[in-house]
Amino acid sequence: MAVDLRDPLRSVLGSILDEVRDRTDGEVASYIPELAKADPRALGIALASTHGVVHEAGDSAVEFTIQSVSKPFVFALALDALGLEEVTRHVGLEPSGEPFNAISLDEASGRPLNPMINAGAIVTSSLIPGDTADEKFARIRAGLQAFAGRELDVDEAVFASEAATGDRNRALAYLTRSAGTLASTAEIATTAYFRQCSLTVTARDLAIMAATLATGGVNPVTGERVVGEDAARWTTAVMTSCGMYDASGDWLVRVGLPAKSGVGGGIVALQPGQFGIGTFSPPLDARGNSVRGVAMLEALSSQSGLHLLRHRGDPLSPIASLAHEGDDLVAVLRGEIAFAGAEELLTRLAPLVGEQGCLVLDFTAVTRVARGAAGVLRALPELAGTDTDGRPRIVLRDPEGVLEG
Amino acid sequence: MAVDLRDPLRSVLGSILDEVRDRTDGEVASYIPELAKADPRALGIALASTHGVVHEAGDSAVEFTIQSVSKPFVFALALDALGLEEVTRHVGLEPSGEPFNAISLDEASGRPLNPMINAGAIVTSSLIPGDTADEKFARIRAGLQAFAGRELDVDEAVFASEAATGDRNRALAYLTRSAGTLASTAEIATTAYFRQCSLTVTARDLAIMAATLATGGVNPVTGERVVGEDAARWTTAVMTSCGMYDASGDWLVRVGLPAKSGVGGGIVALQPGQFGIGTFSPPLDARGNSVRGVAMLEALSSQSGLHLLRHRGDPLSPIASLAHEGDDLVAVLRGEIAFAGAEELLTRLAPLVGEQGCLVLDFTAVTRVARGAAGVLRALPELAGTDTDGRPRIVLRDPEGVLEG
Amino acid sequence: MAVDLRDPLRSVLGSILDEVRDRTDGEVASYIPELAKADPRALGIALASTHGVVHEAGDSAVEFTIQSVSKPFVFALALDALGLEEVTRHVGLEPSGEPFNAISLDEASGRPLNPMINAGAIVTSSLIPGDTADEKFARIRAGLQAFAGRELDVDEAVFASEAATGDRNRALAYLTRSAGTLASTAEIATTAYFRQCSLTVTARDLAIMAATLATGGVNPVTGERVVGEDAARWTTAVMTSCGMYDASGDWLVRVGLPAKSGVGGGIVALQPGQFGIGTFSPPLDARGNSVRGVAMLEALSSQSGLHLLRHRGDPLSPIASLAHEGDDLVAVLRGEIAFAGAEELLTRLAPLVGEQGCLVLDFTAVTRVARGAAGVLRALPELAGTDTDGRPRIVLRDPEGVLEG
Amino acid sequence: MAVDLRDPLRSVLGSILDEVRDRTDGEVASYIPELAKADPRALGIALASTHGVVHEAGDSAVEFTIQSVSKPFVFALALDALGLEEVTRHVGLEPSGEPFNAISLDEASGRPLNPMINAGAIVTSSLIPGDTADEKFARIRAGLQAFAGRELDVDEAVFASEAATGDRNRALAYLTRSAGTLASTAEIATTAYFRQCSLTVTARDLAIMAATLATGGVNPVTGERVVGEDAARWTTAVMTSCGMYDASGDWLVRVGLPAKSGVGGGIVALQPGQFGIGTFSPPLDARGNSVRGVAMLEALSSQSGLHLLRHRGDPLSPIASLAHEGDDLVAVLRGEIAFAGAEELLTRLAPLVGEQGCLVLDFTAVTRVARGAAGVLRALPELAGTDTDGRPRIVLRDPEGVLEG
Query: What is the Cα gyration radius of chain B?
Result: 25
Is-catalytic flag, A126?
A: no
Which residues of chain C lie closer than 8 angstroms to A184, CB-CB?
none
Cβ–Cβ < 8 Å for A369, A378: no
> Is D263 annotated as belonging to a binding site?
yes
C371 vs D114: CB contact, 8 Å cut-off? no
Give the HSE-up count for residue C129: Cα atoms under 13 Å, Cβ half-sphere. 8
CATH of C319-397, one of 3.30.559.10, 3.30.750.24, 3.90.180.10, 3.40.50.970: 3.30.750.24
CB of B336 within 8 Å of a chain A CB? The answer is yes
Nearest CA-CA partner of C312 in B91, D338, B150:
D338
| Distance in angstroms (rounded) separating the CA atoms of residues D293 and D268 | 9
CB of D11 within 8 Å of a chain C CB? The answer is no
As a whole number, mean pLDDT of residues B331-358 equals: 79
Give CA B174 to chain center in angstroms.
30
**Dihedral sign for Cα atoms in the order D240, D242, D245, D250:** positive
In the 8-state DSSP scheme, what is residue A317? P
If DSSP codes are grouped into helix, strand and coil, which group holds residue C394?
strand
Is-catalytic flag, B68?
A: yes
D172 vs B172: CB contact, 8 Å cut-off? no
Nearest CA-CA partner of C339 in B173, D270, B150, B190:
D270
pLDDT in tens, A338-376: 777 888 888 888 778 766 678 899 998 888 887 778 888
CB of D228 within 8 Å of a chain C CB? The answer is no
Q: Tell me the angle at which helices B133-148 and B118-127 cross, rounded to the nearest 10 degrees.
A: 100
| Distance in angstroms (rounded) separating the CA atoms of residues A142 and A131 | 16
- Banded pLDDT at D97 (limits 50, 70, 90): low
CB of C92 within 8 Å of a chain D CB? The answer is yes
D171 vs B174: CB contact, 8 Å cut-off? yes
Q: Write down how long chain D is.
A: 405
Identified catalytic residue from A193, A201, A261, A301: A193
Identified catalytic residue from B28, B62, B238, B263: B263
CB of C163 within 8 Å of a chain A CB? The answer is no
Instruction: Report the gap between the CA of C7 and the closest CA in chain A (Å).
Output: 50
Best mutation target, B118, B174, B181, B194, to test chain D (most D CBs within 10 A): B174
Would you kindly state where each structural domain of chain A is located, as residue ranges?
Answer: 8-304, 319-397
Q: Please indicate whether chains A and D are in contact, defined as at least 3 beta carbon pairs under 8 Å.
A: no
Query: What is the Cα gyration radius of chain A?
Result: 25
State residue B2's pLDDT score: 45
Nearest CA-CA partner of D69 in D263, D215, D248, D224:
D263
Identified catalytic residue from A20, A28, A69, A71: A71
If DSSP codes are grouped into helix, strand and coil, which group holds residue B313?
coil
**A212 CB-contact burial (10 Å; exposed 0-12 / middle 13-18 / buried 19+):** buried
Stated as kind and residue range, the H or E segment containing A348 is helix A339-349
Q: According to DSSP H, which parts of A154-288 are helical?
A: 156-165, 167-178, 186-197, 203-214, 229-242, 248-254
If DSSP codes are grouped into helix, strand and coil, which group holds residue C201?
strand
Cβ–Cβ < 8 Å for A234, A240: no
As a whole number, mean pLDDT of residues A18-24 equals: 94
pLDDT in tens, B241-285: 999 877 889 999 999 999 999 999 999 999 998 899 999 999 999
Strand partners of residue A386: A392
| Distance in angstroms (rounded) separating the CA atoms of residues A340 and B205 | 18
Which amino acid, one-letter code, is at D193?
Y
Cβ–Cβ < 8 Å for B402, B333: no
CB of C189 within 8 Å of a chain A CB? The answer is no
Q: According to DSSP H, which parts of D54-185 are helical?
A: 70-88, 118-127, 133-148, 156-165, 167-178
**Dihedral sign for Cα atoms in the order B197, B200, B203, B207:** negative
- What angle (nearest 5°) sits at the alpha carbon of residue D5, between those of residues D1 and D8? 130
CA-to-CA separations, D268 to C42, D240, D282, in angstroms, rounded = 46, 12, 14
| Distance in angstroms (rounded) separating the CA atoms of residues A111 and A104 | 8
If DSSP codes are grouped into helix, strand and coil, which group holds residue B27?
strand
- Banded pLDDT at B312 (limits 50, 70, 90): low
Which residues of chain B lie closer than 8 angstroms to D175, CB-CB?
167-168, 171, 175
Q: According to DSSP H, which parts of A328-367 are helical?
A: 339-349
| Distance in angstroms (rounded) separating the CA atoms of residues D120 and D75 | 9
Is-catalytic flag, B402?
A: no
| Distance in angstroms (rounded) separating the CA atoms of residues A124 and A140 | 11
- Banded pLDDT at C50 (limits 50, 70, 90): confident
If DSSP codes are grouped into helix, strand and coil, which group holds residue C318?
coil
Q: What is the dihedral of CA A211, A217, A223, A225, to 10 degrees?
A: 150
Query: Of the candidates B168, B175, B179, which has its C-beta nearest D178's C-beta?
Result: B168
pLDDT at residue A304 tops 70: yes
CB of C223 within 8 Å of a chain D CB? The answer is no
Listed in sequence order, the residues at least 6 apart from A107 whose beta carbon sits closer than 8 Å to its beta carbon are none
Cβ–Cβ < 8 Å for D239, D72: yes
CB of D170 within 8 Å of a chain B CB? The answer is yes
Best mutation target, A300, A367, A369, A383, to test chain B (most B CBs within 10 A): A367
Q: Tell me the angle at which helices C229-242 and C70-82 cross, rounded to the nearest 10 degrees.
A: 140
Q: Give me the residues of A, 120-149, that contact B with CB < 8 A.
A: none
| Distance in angstroms (rounded) separating the CA atoms of residues C289 and C175 | 26
Straight-line distance from the first to the last Cα atom of chain C, in angstroms, rounded to the nearest whole number:
43
| Distance in angstroms (rounded) separating the CA atoms of residues D355 and B277 | 100
- Indicate the range of C31-45, C162-176, C257-271, D364-378 predicted with least confidence: D364-378
CB of A315 within 8 Å of a chain B CB? The answer is yes
Cβ–Cβ < 8 Å for B377, B345: yes
Q: Domain C7-304 belongs to what architecture?
A: 3-Layer(aba) Sandwich (3.40)
> Which residue in chain B is spatially nearest to D177 when comparing CA positions?
B167
| Distance in angstroms (rounded) separating the CA atoms of residues B275 and B30 | 32
In the 8-state DSSP scheme, what is residue D337? E
Which residues of chain A lie closer than 8 angstroms to C168, CB-CB?
174-175, 178-179
pLDDT in tens, D128-137: 999 999 999 9
As a whole number, mean pLDDT of residues B93-118 equals: 80
DSSP annotation string for A268-315: EEEETTTEEEEEE---B-TTS-BHHHHHHHHHHHHHHT--TT----PP
Query: What is the Cα gyration radius of chain D?
Result: 25
Which residues of chain C lie closer than 8 angstroms to A190, CB-CB?
none
Best mutation target, B123, B170, B185, B190, to test chain D (most D CBs within 10 A): B170
Which amino acid, one-letter code, is at B241?
S
Give the HSE-up count for residue C167: Cα atoms under 13 Å, Cβ half-sphere. 18
State residue A2's pLDDT score: 43
Listed in sequence order, the residues at least 6 apart from D235 whose beta carbon sits closer than 8 Å to its beta carbon are D72, D73, D75, D76, D79, D213, D227
> Which residue in chain C is spatially nearest to A165 when comparing CA positions?
C178
Instruction: Report the gap between the CA of C4 and the closest CA in chain D (Å).
Output: 6
pLDDT at residue B96 tops 50: yes
**Dihedral sign for Cα atoms in the order D20, D21, D26, D32:** positive
pLDDT in tens, B356-375: 678 899 998 888 887 778 88
| Distance in angstroms (rounded) separating the CA atoms of residues D280 and D204 | 9
| Distance in angstroms (rounded) separating the CA atoms of residues D214 and A393 | 99
| Distance in angstroms (rounded) separating the CA atoms of residues A211 and A53 | 10
Straight-line distance from the first to the last Cα atom of chain D, in angstroms, rounded to the nearest whole number:
43
Which residues of chain C lie closer than 8 angstroms to A168, CB-CB?
174-175, 178-179
Which residues of chain D lie closer than 8 angstroms to B103, CB-CB?
103
pLDDT in tens, B37-85: 899 999 999 999 888 889 999 999 999 999 999 999 999 999 999 999 9
> Is C261 annotated as belonging to a binding site?
no
In the 8-state DSSP scheme, what is residue C218? B
Query: Of the candidates D7, D305, D343, which has its C-beta nearest C370's C-beta?
Result: D305
Homologous superfamily (CATH) for A8-304: DD-peptidase/beta-lactamase superfamily (3.40.710.10)
> Is C114 annotated as belonging to a binding site?
no
- What angle (nearest 5°) sits at the alpha carbon of residue A219, between those of residues A115 and A132? 50
Neighbours of chain C (3+ CB pairs under 8 A): A, D
- Indicate the range of A294-303, B152-161, C108-117, C367-376 predicted with least confidence: C367-376
Q: Please indicate whether chains D and B are in contact, defined as at least 3 beta carbon pairs under 8 Å.
A: yes
Instruction: Report the gap between the CA of D194 and the closest CA in chain C (Å).
Output: 27
Cβ–Cβ < 8 Å for D36, D28: yes
- Banded pLDDT at D314 (limits 50, 70, 90): low
C273 vs D50: CB contact, 8 Å cut-off? no
CB of A177 within 8 Å of a chain C CB? The answer is yes
- Banded pLDDT at C316 (limits 50, 70, 90): low
> Which residue in chain B is spatially nearest to A380 when comparing CA positions?
B5
In the 8-state DSSP scheme, what is residue A67? G
Strand partners of residue A368: A336
Percent of chain B with pLDDT over 90: 61
In which order are the strands placed within the sheet that holds D328-337?
Answer: D319-325, D328-337, D359-369, D394-397
CB of B246 within 8 Å of a chain A CB? The answer is yes
> Is D60 annotated as belonging to a binding site?
no
Binding-site residue positions of A for substrate: 68, 118, 162, 169, 193, 245, 263
Instruction: Report the gap between the CA of D300 and the closest CA in chain C (Å).
Output: 9
Percent of chain D with pLDDT over 90: 61
Nearest CA-CA partner of B112 in B122, B102, B104:
B104
Which residues of chain D lie closer than 8 angstroms to C337, CB-CB?
none
Binding-site residue positions of B for substrate: 68, 118, 162, 169, 193, 245, 263
Cβ–Cβ < 8 Å for B253, A234: yes
State residue B99's pLDDT score: 67
Give CA D72 to chain center in angstroms.
9
| Distance in angstroms (rounded) separating the CA atoms of residues B8 and B19 | 16
Nearest CA-CA partner of D189 in D165, D164, D163:
D163
Nearest CA-CA partner of B51 in B201, B259, B276:
B276
Best mutation target, D178, D185, D194, to test chain B (most B CBs within 10 A): D178
Query: Of the candidates A317, A334, A393, which has its C-beta nearest B334's C-beta?
Result: A334
CA-to-CA separations, A290 to A18, A20, A67, A97, B77, in angstroms, rounded = 16, 12, 12, 19, 34
State residue C140's pLDDT score: 98
pLDDT at residue C2 tops 50: no
Best mutation target, C103, C175, C182, to test chain A (most A CBs within 10 A): C175
